Chains A and B, each alone.
Chain A
Amino acid sequence: MSSQAVLESASTAPKRGADFGRLHLWGKLLWPALALAILLAIDGICIRGFFSVSIVQGRLTGTLVDIFRYGAPVMVLSVGMTFVLATGGVDLSVGAIMALAGAIAAKAAMPTSLNGMGISPGSGIAIALLVSVLAGMWNGMSVAWLGMQPIVATLVLMVAGRGIARLCIGAANVPLSGTIWTALHNPHLTLPMAPIIVLIVAVVAGLLTRVTSIGLFVEALGGNPVASRYAGVRVGLITFMVYVFCGLCAGIAGIISSADVMIANASSTGMYMELDAILAVVIGGTALTGGRFSLVGSLIGALLIQTLQTTLIYKVPIQQTLVIKAVVVLAVCLLQSAEFRRKSLAVCARLGLSRTRKAAAQVAS
Chain B
Amino acid sequence: MRSESIKSPLLQLQKVRKIFPGVLALDDVDFSARRGEIHAIMGENGAGKSTLIKVLTGAYPRDGGRMMLDGAEIAPRSPQEAQRLGISTVYQEVNLIPSLSVAENIFLGRQPTRWGRIDWRQIRRRAQAALERLDLSIDVGRQLSSYSIAIQQMVAIARAIDISARLLILDEPTSSLDANEVQRLFAVMRKLRDEGMAIIFVSHFLDQIYAITDRITVLRNGRLIGEYPTSQLSRQDLIARMMGRELADLDVQLQQEESGQRDSHQSISMRDIIGRGIIPSPGTRGEGHGGGFLSTPNQSSAPSPALPRSTGGGSEMPSPILRARSLGRSGSIQPFDLEIGAGEVIGLAGLLGSGRSEMARLLFGIDVADSGDIEIGGRKRVFRQPRQAIALGLAFCPEDRKTSGIIPELSIRENIVLALQARGGLFKSLSRARQDEIASGYIKALGIATPSAEQSIGNLSGGNQQKAILARWLAADPRLLILDEPTRGIDVGAKAEIQKLVLSLCRQGTAIVFISSELEEVVRVSDRVLVLRDRALVGQLRGAAISEQAIMQTIAQERPAEVAR
Q: Do chains A and B touch in the complex (CB under 8 A)?
A: yes
Is A223 interfacial (CB 8 A cutoff)?
yes
Known pairs A1-B23, A22-B454; A230 contacts B404 (CB<8 A): yes
Please give me the residue from chain B that is nearest to A17 by CB atom: B451
Give residues 487-510 of B contacting A (CB, 8 Å): 488-490
On whether the beta carbons of A21 and B407 are closer than 8 Å, the reply is no
Complex interface: stretch among A47-55, A135-143, A144-152, A231-239: A231-239
Contacts between the two chains (Cβ within 8 Å), count? 163
B426:A217 contact, CB within 8 angstroms: yes
Asked if A8 and B461 sit within 8 Å, CB to CB, the answer is: yes
Q: Can you list, as one digit per residue, whether each of A4-15 has a CB less than 8 Å from chain B (1) or not (0)? A: 111111111111
Query: Which residues in chain B, 383-397, are within 8 Å of chain A measured between CB atoms?
Result: 385-387, 390-391, 396
Is A3 an interface residue when CB atoms closer than 8 A count as contact? yes
Within 8 A of B (CB), among A81-132: none
Question: A57 within 8 Å of B by Cβ?
Answer: no
Please report the C-alpha to C-alpha distance between residue A115 and residue B328 in the assembled complex, in whole angstroms.
62
A24 within 8 A of B: yes
B410 on the A face (CB < 8 A): yes
Taking CB atoms, residues of chain B closer than 8 Å to A291 are 409
Q: Are A230 and B25 in contact (CB under 8 A)?
A: no
Task: Say yes or no for B424: interface residue by CB 8 A criterion.
Answer: yes
**Are B489's CB and A19's CB within 8 A?**
no
A217 touches B50 (CB 8 A): no
Q: CB-nearest residue of chain B relative to A6?
A: B20
Once the chains bind, are A4 and B418 in contact (CB under 8 Å)? no
Q: Is the CB of B422 within 8 A of A292?
A: no
- Contact A214–B426 (Cβ < 8 Å): yes
Which of A4, A14, A231, A238 contacts B472 (CB under 8 A)? A231
- B386 contacts A229, CB within 8 Å? yes
Set of chain B residues within 8 Å of A234, measured between Cβ atoms? 387, 422, 426
A326 to B: closest C-beta gap in Å: 29
Contact A230 B426 (CB under 8 A): no
Q: Are A19 and B459 in contact (CB under 8 A)?
A: no
Contacts of A19 in B (CB 8 A): 451-452, 454
A2 to B400, CA, bound (A): 13
Which B residues touch A11, using CB under 8 A? 458-462
Q: Does A211 contact B (CB under 8 A)?
A: yes
Interface flag for A268 (CB, 8 Å): no
* Distance in angstroms between the alpha carbons of A220 and B417 in the assembled complex: 11
Knowing A1-B20, A2-B45, the reply to whether A21 touches B418 (Cβ < 8 A) is: no
Complex CA–CA separation, A339 to B37 (angstroms): 44
B483 to chain A, nearest CB (A): 13
Q: Is the CB of B406 within 8 A of A227?
A: yes
Is B411 close to A, CB under 8 A?
yes
Whether the Cβ atoms of B451 and A18 lie closer than 8 Å is yes
Partner of B25, one of A6, A8, A18: A6
User: In whole angstroms, what is the CA distance A237 to B426 when docked?
Assistant: 10
The reply to whether A232 and B419 form a contact with Cβ atoms under 8 Å apart is: yes
B426–A18 CB distance below 8 A: no
Chain B, Cβ-Cβ closest to A23 = B454
Total residues of chain B contacting the partner, CB 8 A: 61
Question: What residue of chain B has the Cβ atom nearest to residue A223's Cβ?
Answer: B407
Whether the Cβ atoms of B24 and A233 lie closer than 8 Å is no
Interface bits B446-468 vs A (CB < 8 Å: 1, else 0): 00000110111011111000000
Residues of B within 8 A of A17 (CB): 451
Contacts of A9 in B (CB 8 A): 20-23
Cβ of A200 to closest chain B Cβ, rounded Å: 20
A274 within 8 Å of B by Cβ?
no
A224 neighbours in B (Cβ, 8 Å):
403-404, 406-408
Inside 8 A of B456's CB, which chain A residues have their CB?
20-21, 24
Known: A1-B221, A220-B418. A18 touches B452 (CB 8 A): yes
Closest to A215 in B: B429
Partner of A226, one of B385, B390, B403: B403
**When chains A and B are docked, how far (Å) is the Cα of A1 from the Cα of B386?**
32
Closest to B452 in A: A18
> Inside 8 A of A227's CB, which chain B residues have their CB?
398, 403-407
* Closest residue on chain A to residue B399 by CB atoms: A4
Q: How far is the CB of A133 from chain B (nearest CB, A)?
A: 17
Q: A5-B489, A12-B461 are in contact. Are A213 and B421 (CB under 8 A)?
A: yes
Answer whether residue A63 sits at the interface, using C-beta atoms and an 8 A cutoff: no
Q: Assess the B46–A5 pair: CB atoms within 8 A.
A: yes
User: Contact at A219–B24, with CB atoms within 8 Å?
Assistant: no
Whether a CB of chain A sits under 8 angstroms from the CB of B76 is no
Set A12, A15, A292: member contacting B409, Cβ < 8 A:
A292
A217–B429 CA distance with the chains assembled, in angstroms: 11
Q: Is B334 an interface residue (CB 8 A)?
A: no
Instruction: Let me know if A213 and B424 touch, CB within 8 A.
Output: yes
Question: Is the C-beta of A228 less than 8 angstroms from some C-beta in chain B?
Answer: yes
The listed residue (B24, B390, B488) touching A4 by CB distance below 8 A is B488
B400 to chain A, nearest CB (A): 9
Given contacts A224-B406, A232-B387, contact A21 B411 (CB under 8 A): yes
Chain A 203-224 interface 0/1 with B at a Cβ cutoff of 8 Å (1 = within): 0000000011110110110011
Q: In this assembly, does A355 line the interface, its C-beta being within 8 Å of a C-beta of chain B?
A: no
Interface residues of B in 3-51 (CB under 8 A from A): 20-25, 45-48, 50-51
Tell me which residues across on chain B come within 8 A of A230, comparing CB atoms: 364, 366, 386, 396, 398, 404-405
A220 near B46: Cβ-Cβ < 8 Å? no
- Please name the residue on chain A nearest to B451 by beta carbon: A18
- Judging by beta carbons under 8 Å apart, are A10 and B21 in contact? yes
A2 & B426 in contact (Cβ 8 Å cutoff): no
The reply on A16 being an interface residue by CB < 8 A is yes
At the interface, yes or no: B292 with Cβ under 8 Å from chain A? no
**B191 interface contact, C-beta 8 A:** no
Residue among A6, A13, A223 with most chain B CB within 10 A:
A223
Q: Is B214 an interface position by the 8 A CB rule?
A: no
Take A3-B50, A3-B51, A220-B418 as given contacts and tell me if A212 and B407 are in contact as well, using a CB distance cutoff of 8 Å: no
Residues of chain B within 8 A of A212, CB atoms compared? 426-429
Rounded to whole Å, the gap between the CB of A8 and the closest CB of chain B is 4
Please state if A229 and B23 are interface contacts (CB–CB under 8 Å).
no
Cβ-based interface call for B222 (8 A): yes
Report the minimum CB–CB distance from A290 to chain B (whole Å).
9
A3 CA to B488 CA, complexed, in Å: 12
- Nearest neighbor of B429 in chain A, beta-carbon distance: A213
CB distance from A87 to the nearest CB of B (A): 13
Q: What chain B residues lie within 8 Å of A233 (beta carbons)?
A: 387, 418, 422
Residue in A closest to B54 when the chains form the complex, CB atoms: A3
- Report B-chain residues with C-beta under 8 Å of the C-beta of A18: 451-452, 455
**Is residue B142 within 8 Å, beta carbon to beta carbon, of the partner chain?**
no
The chain B residue sitting closest to A224, CB to CB, is B407
A6 to B24, CA, bound (A): 10
Residues of B near A226 (CB, < 8 A) are 403-404
Q: Which of A25-74 contact B (CB under 8 A)?
A: none
Contact of A223 among B385, B386, B409 (CB under 8 A): B409
Listed residue (A2, A3, A211, A234) with the most chain B CB atoms within 10 angstroms of its CB:
A2
Using Cβ atoms and an 8 Å threshold, which residues of chain A touch B404? 224, 226-227, 230
Across the interface, do B387 and A211 meet the contact criterion of CB distance under 8 Å? no
User: Closest Cβ of chain A: how far from B358's Cβ, in Å?
Assistant: 15
A2: B residues at CB distance < 8 A: 25, 45-48, 50-51, 489
Contacts A/B (CB < 8 Å), 30 sampled = A1-B20, A1-B23, A1-B46, A1-B48, A4-B45, A5-B22, A5-B23, A6-B22, A6-B23, A8-B489, A9-B22, A11-B458, A11-B461, A18-B455, A20-B455, A20-B459, A21-B411, A211-B429, A213-B422, A213-B424, A213-B427, A214-B426, A216-B410, A216-B414, A220-B418, A224-B407, A227-B403, A227-B407, A230-B366, A231-B422
Contacts A230-B364, A232-B390 known; list 16 others, CB within 8 Å: A2-B47, A6-B21, A7-B462, A8-B461, A18-B455, A19-B454, A21-B452, A21-B454, A213-B425, A216-B418, A217-B422, A219-B409, A227-B406, A229-B366, A229-B385, A232-B422
Interface residues of B (CB under 8 A from A): 20-25, 45-48, 50-51, 221-222, 364, 366, 385-387, 390-391, 396, 398, 402-411, 414, 417-419, 421-430, 451-452, 454-456, 458-462, 472, 488-490
